[in-house]
């Protein structure tokens, strides 16, 4: 089965290190989430994987062969990004036909079904559509191309709640019918927290989390109780953030708790969801821990 291996990728724009030593593997038939704040380097990373820009160092390989300027590898991936590459005057159907030419085939059945569900007219001109519908056109293309690796950079940009819901449903439907790998970069973490099987979190150009969603959540704790007790209990652990309300403190911990410490009975222990974990991890605090 085909996989993509990204090793020690770095990217500099002038003196600015946008990506530093990024390594990760994309397995077949898996839905990945790529989360990072604005400017963290998500889009740069996706652009490098899809060979739209060159890295300053490191390698992108598909099945142990460099994917850079490798037509066979590139024909097996699709990147949907914020950039609109289509002519304003072109009709949607024409855009689909062009895509078919580029990729050798195109799932017209799925594309037509999705266009109908999203209420997109195929004879409309791309330039006449709203931001949301630009996203929809690109989403439909991303789901209809015959590739094994689909990268979505902010796929739901400009989509209303109903259309986002529809997209998640159709994504899961087509994933079940034709399993392939999706890498989804989004700020709406909560909406896809249960959809993604594996998570990459990127902060200031570095991967800070690379792990299974389930084990990441299992390793994230909110410890709530009297300030002093909470501080004693979490001393020396990887505390990534605090909240203080009067004398009541919540400390967020990412990583193993100390099993030898007795949990004080005035302290409440809960798991933290992905979104909260992300906020605290990328707020400046926290060490690098493998999930």
Partner 1 sequence: MEFNFNSTEPIYQQVAEQLTEAIFSGSFAENEQIPSTTEISKQFHINPATVLKGMNLLVAKELIEKRRGIGMFVKVGAVATIEQQRRESFYTDYILNLVTEAQKLGLSQEKLIQLIERGYQDDANSN
225 φ/ψ angles, rounded to the nearest 5 degrees: 170, -170
Question: Where is 8: in which H helix or E strand?
Answer: strand 4-13
Asked whether position 122 contacts partner 1 by CB under 8 A, the answer is no
Interface pick for partner 1 out of 217, 223, 230, 239 (rule CB under 8 A): 217
Which one of 112-120, 129-137, 143-151, 213-221 is the stretch in contact with partner 1 (CB under 8 A)?
Answer: 213-221
Which one of 45-53, 115-123, 136-144, 167-175 is the stretch in contact with partner 1 (CB under 8 A)?
Answer: 167-175
Asked whether position 272 contacts partner 1 by CB under 8 A, the answer is yes
244 φ/ψ angles, rounded to the nearest 5 degrees: -125, 130
**CB of 283: closest distance to partner 1 in angstroms?**
19
Number of H helices, E strands in the chain: 10, 14
Smallest Cα–Cα separation from 221: which of 171, 261, 178, 268?
Answer: 268
Asked whether position 87 contacts partner 1 by CB under 8 A, the answer is no
**CB of 166: closest distance to partner 1 in angstroms?**
10
Q: How many residues does the chain have?
A: 291
Asked whether position 65 contacts partner 1 by CB under 8 A, the answer is no
Which one of 72-80, 84-92, 188-196, 251-259 is the stretch in contact with partner 1 (CB under 8 A)?
Answer: 188-196
Interface pick for partner 1 out of 192, 199, 202, 216 (rule CB under 8 A): 192
Smallest Cα–Cα separation from 51: which of 83, 31, 77, 26?
Answer: 77
Asked whether position 169 contacts partner 1 by CB under 8 A, the answer is yes
Asked whether position 231 contacts partner 1 by CB under 8 A, the answer is no
Asked whether position 197 contacts partner 1 by CB under 8 A, the answer is yes
Strand 206-212 with 198-203, pairing: antiparallel
Interface pick for partner 1 out of 261, 271, 287, 288 (rule CB under 8 A): 271
In the complex with partner 1, the residue whose CB is nearer, 72 or 194, is: 194
**CB of 221: closest distance to partner 1 in angstroms?**
10
Q: Are 41 and 20 in contact (CB under 8 A)?
A: no
> For 88-238, where are the E strands, in sequence order?
149-153, 181-185, 198-203, 206-212, 220-226
Strand 181-185 with 31-36, pairing: parallel
Strand order in the sheet with 77-80: 77-80, 149-153, 181-185, 31-36, 198-203, 206-212
Asked whether position 89 contacts partner 1 by CB under 8 A, the answer is no
Interface pick for partner 1 out of 83, 102, 218, 263 (rule CB under 8 A): 218
Where on the chain is the footprint of partner 1 (CB under 8 A)?
31, 168-169, 172-173, 175-176, 191-192, 194-197, 213-214, 217-218, 270-273
């Amino acid at each position: 089965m085909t996989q993509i291996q990204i090793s020690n990728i770095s990217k500099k724009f002038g003196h600015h290190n946008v990506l530093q030593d990024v390594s990760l593997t994309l397995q077949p038939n898996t839905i990945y989430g790529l989360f990072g704040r604005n400017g963290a380097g998500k889009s740069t990373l996706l652009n490098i994987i899809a060979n739209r820009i060159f890295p300053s160092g490191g390698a992108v390989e598909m099945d142990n062969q460099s994917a850079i300027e490798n037509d066979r590898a590139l024909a097996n991936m699709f990147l949907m990004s914020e950039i609109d590459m289509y002519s304003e005057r072109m009709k949607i159907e024409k855009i689909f036909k062009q895509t078919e030419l580029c990729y050798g085939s195109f799932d017209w059945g799925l594309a037509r079904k999705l266009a109908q569900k999203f209420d997109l007219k195929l004879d409309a001109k791309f330039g006449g559509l709203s931001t949301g519908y630009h996203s929809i056109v690109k989403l439909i293309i991303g789901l209809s191309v015959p590739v094994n690796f689909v990268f979505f950079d902010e796929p739901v940009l400009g989509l209303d709640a109903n259309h986002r819901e529809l997209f998640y449903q159709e994504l899961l439907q087509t994933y079940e019918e034709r399993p392939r790998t999706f890498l989804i970069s989004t700020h709406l973490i909560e909406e896809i927290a249960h959809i993604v099987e594996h998570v990459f979190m990127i902060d200031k150009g570095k991967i800070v989390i690379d792990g299974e969603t389930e084990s990441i959540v299992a390793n994230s704790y909110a410890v709530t109780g009297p300030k002093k007790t909470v501080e004693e209990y979490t001393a020396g652990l990887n505390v990534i953030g605090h909240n203080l309300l009067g004398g009541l403190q919540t400390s967020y911990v990412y990583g193993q708790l100390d099993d030898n410490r007795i949990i004080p009975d005035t302290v409440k222990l809960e798991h933290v969801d992905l979104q909260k974990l992300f906020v605290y991890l990328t707020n400046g605090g926290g060490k690098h821990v493998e999930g």
